[in-house]
A and B are shown apart, each in its own frame.
Chain A
Amino acid sequence: MTRETLLNTLLMALLIGVPLWAWVADEPFTITLATRAVIFALAAVGLNIALGLGGLVSLGHAVYFGIGGYAMGILAYHAQTYTPLMAWPFVIEGTKFMPVIWLVAMVVSAVVAFVIGLLSLRTSGVYFIMITLAFGQMFYFFTISWPRYGGEDGLSIYVRNGFPGLNTLDPIQFFAICLALLCAVLWLNARIVKSPFGLALGAARQVPQRVETVGLDPFRLKLVALVISGTICGLAGALFADLNRFVSPTMFSWQMSGELIVFIILGGLGRVFGPVAGATLFVLLEHLLGGVSDYFLFYVGLLLLLVVLFTPGGIYGILLGRSKS
C-alpha cells in the first residue's frame, strides 16, 4: 500500500466513520455537514476531470452545479404544486423521484457543457478562464431576473425528494445516497485516468502536438472531458439542492465556481482524492471559523493565501511531502 492509498483510505474512513458516530450519538447536524462535504467533493471531483486531467481551468463550473440544482427545483416545484412543467405539444409533469431528477440534471448539464465547450474551447489560457466565467455570469443574471422560478428568491421545496426503498428525510440515509454516488464517481474517475482516453487527455494537456501526430483531435478529447465533468457537477447540484431543499441563483455565482477550484487546490491538484480532502477541509473550516469572529473571512483568505504560496501540493502535498503535477 503506498502512502497515498493509505491517505485515501483514511480519508474515506473519516467520511464514513464520523457520520456513523454522529448517527449513534444523535448529532444529526454533523451528518448534515458531512453530507455537504460529500456533495461538494462530488462536484469538485467532476471539475477535476476537466481541470486536473484536462488542464481546463474553468471558472464557470457553477453553471452545471446550478443547472443540476434548478433541474431538481423546477421538477419538484411542479410536482409539489401539481402543475404540469409543459402542457404543449405534449404534457410533461414534475416529479419528486430522485433518479429521474438526477437523470434530467445530468442530461441537461451534459448538453449545456457540450455547447459551452464547443464555443469556449476555441480559446485557451486566460481567455478560456474568462469565457467560462462569462457563461457563468449569463446564467447567474438570467436566473436572477427571470421571475418564473422565483428569481433571486429562488425556490423552496418543502419535502426532500424520494428514493425507492429509502427514507431520504433521515439524514444518515440521504448521506448514504450521496456517499454511494461519490464512490461511484471516484471509481469512474480512477478508471478514466488509466483508460486510453485519460492517457490521451493527459497527453493533450501537456503536449497537444504529440496527440495530433498520432491522429487524435485534442479539441474532441477536451470536449469530452468537459462534458463528463459538467455531467458530474450537474448531479452534485441536484443533490445539493435536495440537501438544502432550496435552490437559488447563488448556485450560479462566480464565487461558487471559485470555491470548487479552491477545493481542488486545497486538497492537491492531480490527485483523484484531492478534491475530497479539499472539500472536507473547507466545510470543516467554514463550520469552525464561522463561530470565532465576525471577520472570519479574513482568516479564510489568509489561510488560502498561505496554502497557495507555500504548499503548492495542498493537503496531499503536505502529508506526502512531495508535489505531483
Chain B
Amino acid sequence: MSLILIIEQILNGVQFGVMLFLMASGLTLIFGVMGLINLAHGSLYMVGAFAAAGVAASSGSFLLALMAAMAAAAMAGVIMEMIVIRRLYDRDHLEQVLATFALILVFSEGTRFVFGSFPLFLDVPGVLSGPITLPGGIQYPLYRLVLIAVGLSVALGLGLFISKTRVGIQIRAGENDREMIAALGVDIAKLYTLVFALGAALAGLAGALVGAIQSVQIGMGEPILILAFVVIVIGGIGSIRGALIGSLLVGLTDTLGGIFLPELFKFFVAPDVAQTVGSALASMAIYVLMACVLIWRPTGLFGARA
C-alpha cells in the first residue's frame, strides 16, 4: 500500500472526525451544562440538511443554504428546548433518553410529511467542486479540505468562546455549580436555551455541510448520532477538548480500520475470508475502541464526572 494512499486515508479520517466534532461538541455542551442526554440531536442535523437542500434549491446559493441550515436547526432547537427539554432537566437519564427518543420519531415522520419520502438534492457549490493536487501529487477533493478547515476553525472558535467570553465563563460555571451561578444573578433558563440553540446550530451546520456530499434523507441523523455519542463518551462528557480528540480518534479508527483490517487478515487467511472477517471486525472497531477506553478510564479520556 502506497504512502500516498495512506496519507489520503488519514485526511479522510480527519475530515470525518471534524464533522463528527460539530455534532459531538453540541451534545457534550448540552450534557455538560444541563446534564441532559439528547438523542434528538441527530434530528437537528437532519433539519439542517433539509433546510439547506430546500433553500439551495430555491435560491441556488450554498452560503445562503448554510445560514438557513443553522438558523432552522437553532430555531427547531429553541422550540424543542422550550416545549419539551426544559421539563427534563430535573428528571433522571432514563426519562431523558425516552423523551428524546420520542422526539426522534416525531421529527422524522414530521419531516417526511413535509418533504416526502424521497431523498433531496444538495450539491457541493461549483467553486469548491472537484479535486486539487496537494504536495506529493495527492489528488484530493477541495470540498473535503474545506470541511476540515471549517471544522477546525469551529473547534478553535468554540474553544475561545468558552474560555474567553463572558457567556462562555457562565457556561463553564454552569457545568460546575448550577445553583451558585443562579444565585449570582445569571438567568439560568436563558443560558440553557442559548447553549441548546448553539448546539443545535452546530448540528444543523454539520448536516448541511455533510448533506452536500451525502444523501439528504429521513433518518440520516441516527447513525451519526450514535457515533457522536461514542465520541463524547470516549472524550469524556462535558469536555470540548475531549470531544475533539474523541472525534479524531473515531474518525481515524473507522476510516483506517475499514482499509487495513482486511489487508491485515490477508497475511493469515485466504483473501476472501480475510475480506469477510476484516469487514466484519472493521464495522465493530469503533465500539471496541469505546469499550476499551471506558474499561481503561470509566469516565472517558477527559471526563471529570460520572
Contacts and interface: CB of A to CB of B under 8 A. Distances in A.
Task: Give yes or no for direct A-B contact (beta carbon below 8 Å).
Answer: yes
Contacts of A91: none
Contacts of A312: 91, 95
Contacts of A50: none
Contacts of B128: none
A135 B105 contact: no
B84 A305 contact: yes
A305 B295 contact: no
A147 B280 CA distance: 10
Nearest to A296: B109
A187 interface: no
Contact of B295 (A119, A258, A308): A119
B95 A308 contact: yes
A261 B105 contact: no
Interface of B is mostly: helix
A138 B105 contact: no
The size bracket of the interface on A is 35 or more
A256 to B, nearest CB: 12
A217 B135 CA distance: 60
B298 interface: yes
B299 A261 contact: no
Q: By CB atoms of chain B within 10 A, which of A122, A127, A147 has the most?
A: A127
Interface string A161-197: 0000000000000000000000000000000000000
Contacts of B298: 122-124, 127
Contacts, number: 132
Interface residues on B, range: 35 or more
Interface in A112-145: 119-120, 122-127, 129-131, 133-135, 137-138, 141-142, 144-145
Interface in B7-40: 31, 37
A57 B98 CA distance: 12
Contacts of A57: 93-94, 97
B294 interface: yes
B226 interface: yes
Contacts of B284: 137-138, 141-142
Interface string B91-110: 10111011101111110111
A240 interface: no
Contact of A265 (B95, B276, B291): B95
A146 to B, nearest CB: 5
Interface string A84-124: 00000000000000000000000000000000000110111
- Please name the 8 residue pairs, one residue from A and one from B, whose CB atoms are nearest each other, closest first: A301-B105, A298-B109, A304-B102, A141-B283, A301-B106, A145-B280, A305-B102, A123-B298
20 contacts: A123-B298, A123-B306, A126-B233, A127-B233, A130-B233, A131-B233, A137-B226, A137-B284, A138-B287, A138-B291, A141-B280, A141-B287, A265-B98, A295-B109, A298-B113, A301-B102, A304-B105, A305-B102, A305-B103, A312-B91
